[in-house]
Structure 1
Amino acid sequence: MRSVTATAAKATSFARSQSAGKLALKLAAAAAIVTLSGCSWFSSKKDPNPPAPLVEFAQKLRVQTAWSVSVGKAGNFTFTPAYAAGSVFAAANDGTVMRINAQNGQTVWRIRTDTPLTAGVGTDGSTVVVVGEKGKIQAFDASGKPTWNAQAPSEVLSSPAVGEGLVVIRSIDNRVTAYDADNGSQRWMVQRNVPSLTLRNAPGIVVGSQTAFVALPGGRLSALALNNGGPRWEVPVGDPRGTTELERISDVSGVPALGSRDICAVAYQGRIGCFDLLNGNVRWIKEFSSDVGVTLDDSYVYAADFGGVVTEFARDTGAAVWRNDKLKNRMLSSPISAGRAVAVGDYQGYIHFLSREDGSFVARLSSDGSPIQAPPVSAGQSVVFQTKSGTVVSVVTE
């Protein structure tokens, strides 16, 4: 262990060395914060779970990079691209925020905020929101002009959700706060309990049907009314289990996947399932563990488990259609539907394309060699990935 720092009235945080592939953890405590840098839970000269080697296969699907743009490095944070109004929006730790034409990759505008960023981008195409150090919220209009600033209660790691006239943000003290999208005034705040031990990741928020669906530590998926933050329903995606605090981590991961009638989510050391939008009733739920979230299309739900096994589930029943276990321990992103394939990024910047029919490899692309941790997004006819080194790449399939 190389460094230890302490600060009163915060939380205790354990960070993993990314090159060793160890999990980043945050231990919340009432009295102190301790950050352990460059320290892993386990020490071993040989990695007991080495990444699977790349599988050789005959390429069956034509894929190509439509365009590629550099936005800037993510640093110790995760920056997720966003798609709205025919544009891709992206941000970086150094304060860069970009709007990119989704069709041709041309930069519409590029600005630099006055503080390093920790989360972004959230947008509905009209309001663009990022969050800087110490929870400074910064909003811009569609042309990149600053419109308002606000202050979150504490550090923010999750991308803001923008929609239906509000900006909704979850800070690491587990407060969910809504701001007016036009002027930044606070509309409501909901305080949630913080479990004693949580992943230091970026559980997301999605807005729709006059509701904010919030992924929370402790394995909860919460639906909050947009008008006042009141609870509509809440369901356990993962229930903390085990005899130790480490075993009892069960946080909802990634951004919940919103459909027209259902919403799907997954938890680390928990379960994966889909729930009724109106009342939270369980449509189906299964044991599963993932720290990167889920996506869906009209027929299927896609998820990569913590060990790197990619699974396609039938959206209506939850039946496993296929599993691909050839990407084990490659620290995958969440998978996403891409035409006739399912695309997923890994820790070396490769984008793997799996058949939607049986999960077999059909194509592979390389990006810049750095990890793809942020959830990919659909952007019209393409899929957009953002790497840790800051390459935003749009990929199209035949």
Structure 2
Amino acid sequence: MSLAFTRRALRNSVLALSVSALAGCSLFSNRNPRYDPSPLTEYTAGISATIVWSVSVGSDGGYGFAPVMVGDSVYAATPNGSVSKVDIASGRIQWRGDAKHELTAGVGSDGQTTAVATADGTIVAFDDTGVEKWKTKASSAVNIPPTVGAGVVVVRSSDYRIQAFDAATGELRWNIQRPGPALALKTTMQMIIVDGLLISGMPNGRLMAINPANGAVQWEGTISISQGATDLERISDVVGSPQIQGPLLCGVSYQGRMVCFDVSQGGRPIWEQNFSSNTGMATDAQQAYAANQRSVVYAFSLADGHEVWKQDALSNRRLSAPAVVPQAVAFGDLEGYVHFLSRTDGKLLGRVQVGGDAITSPLLATNRGVLVQTGNGNLVLVGVN
């Protein structure tokens, strides 16, 4: 067996090294009651959370799937190849597309081009009537949602390569690659395009800012550095979606840290906290929120990174990446519940069950409430008052 083949085999094992697998073999094993999910407890309701609408957008779910909102519409995809555009006000399906193959990631959209990735690394783009626009091949499997904007469709593949395709034609515009570890998590990761830059976390513990027009790397910052004696111990992926608040760019990693950089000062790190998340973080103007790998929720001050509060009432419930709404910060869990915590002190304020088994997709905050993509292929809008 060649060394090259061995490295490819190790890299391909990223597909199997999911958060669920890690949970099943260690943190959440039922053999030790210490890691059992916390039971739901009584609390004094501080908000009212209700299901406004629920609609099927396909079947199944997974870490590579997250809804995207553009204007008054939501775009969503599911592993069975279904791609949908949904009206945020009513839940009415505006169009449905079919990639005709199993998907490993989706969806990315700018409201004109909507892209998904199939199991063999094919990128399929639809126009805004749900008709296939073009398809092309990435360098390897794609397990995080494509990002669409600035005239390009950008994907990050399992060989740690970022590629941009012309949004109109599918032609390859540029690609860059960075060395990566032998193993990486299969969990919720997202790239964003903001202020003319593509921001992406990488499995090597770094954040990158890239010019989406030509692929020129404008800046790189270190969230965490791999440590440990084994490949498993050295996993240090940046997880979730990068967060922008004013001049701050923040990220969090597994078995690493949470760090905020000041982009107005050349990307200088202004604070860091030792922290391990396997799902990601969210922010508002004052605080950063994340659940650690044991699903203990923390809030940190954006000003200096000090811990404001922590809440362990949801420990081991395999919390999703959070969403911040004016009334609370929300997390999904392994039983299809959405929990709402006070942004001030972390107290439980409300919960609602949306069904569909475990919520693995990151929650999406909107001006109408929280959007949830469930494990059985439903899209649910939860209103909060």
- In structure 1, the residue matched to 2:297 is 310
Per-residue CA distance 1:8-35 (angstroms, 9 max, x = gap): 76233273698xx5417xxxxxxxxxxx
Q: CA separation in 2, counterparts of 1:350 and 1:311?
A: 19
The DSSP-based 3-state class of the residue aligned with 1:10 is helix
Matched, 1:268 2:254: yes
1:369: Cα distance to partner? 4.5
Specify which of 101, 106, 111 is matched with residue 120 of structure 1: 106
Q: Deviations over 1:90-146 (max 9, x none)?
A: 111111011100011111111222211110110111211111121111111222122
SS in 2 for 1:23: helix
Distance apart, 1:165 and its partner CA: 1.2
Aligned ranges 1:173-192 → 2 under 5 Å: 173-192=159-178
The answer on whether the counterparts of 1:16 and 1:23 sit within 8 Å (CA) in structure 2 is yes
Check the 8 A contact 1:17/1:40 in 2, yes or no: no
Q: Which has the higher contact order (CA 8 A, sep 6+)?
A: 2
Match runs of 1:192-203 below 5 Å = 192-203=178-189
Query: Are residues 202 and 53 of structure 1, via their aligned partners in 2, closer, same or farther at CA, if it must alter by over 3 Å?
Result: closer
- Flag the 1:98–1:311 CA change in 2: closer, same or farther, 3 A: same
Separation in 2 of the partners of 1:40 and 1:318? 32
In structure 2, relative to structure 1, the CA distance for the partners of 1:133 and 1:16 (3 Å cut) is: closer
1:308 to partner: Cα distance: 0.5
Cα separation, 2, equivalents of 1:95 and 1:388: 15
Structure 1: stretches of 5+ with no match in the other structure: 1-6, 25-38
CA distance in 1, matches of 2:178, 2:375: 30
1:264-295 CA-to-partner distances (Å, cap 9, x unmatched) read 11000000021123532112211100010111
What SS does the corresponding residue of 2:120 show, helix, strand or coil? Answer: helix
The equivalent of 2:367 in structure 1 is 380
Q: TM-score, normalised by structure 2?
A: 0.92
Aligned mates of 2:340, 2:256 — CA distance in 1: 27
Matched, 1:329 2:311: no
Inter-partner Cα distance in structure 2 for 1:11 and 1:281: 37
Q: 1:101 to 1:247 in 2, by over 3 A?
A: same
Query: Structure 2 CA distance, aligned partners of 1:363 and 1:118?
Result: 33
Number of residue-to-residue matches in the alignment:
376
Runs of 4+ residues over 6 Å off in structure 1: 41-44
Q: Which structure: greater helix fraction?
A: 2
Q: 2:8 aligns with which of 10, 23, 32?
A: 10
Displacement of 1:347: 0.5
- Unaligned stretches of 5+ residues in structure 2: none
Q: Give RMSD over aligned pairs.
A: 2.1
Equivalent position amino acid for 2:174 in 1: W
**Counterpart of 1:264 in 2: which secondary structure?**
strand
Amino acid paired to 2:305:
G
Matched, 1:360 2:347: yes
Distance 2:310 2:30 in 1: 30
Identity %: 39
Q: TM-score, normalised by structure 1?
A: 0.89
Distance 1:180 1:16, change over 3 A: closer
Please list, as runs of the form range in 1=range in 2, the aligned pairs for 1:62-211 lying within 5 A after superposition.
Answer: 62-74=48-60, 77-211=63-197
- Matching residue within 217, 221, 226 for 2:212: 226
Q: Distance in 2 between matches of 1:254 and 1:75?
A: 16
Deviation at residue 46 of structure 1 after TM alignment? 4.3
Q: Give 1:71 shift.
A: 1.7
8 A contact 2:17–2:184 mirrored in 1: no
Give 1:23's aligned residue: 22
| Secondary structure, aligned partner of 1:11 | helix
Amino acid across the alignment from 1:235: G
Instruction: Report the equivalent of 1:247.
Output: 233
Give SS of 1:197's match: coil
2:151 aligned partner, one-letter code: G
Q: Give the partner amino acid of 1:354.
A: L
Contact 1:102 1:379 in 2 (8 A): no
Distance change >3 Å, CA 64–CA 41, structure 1 → 2: closer
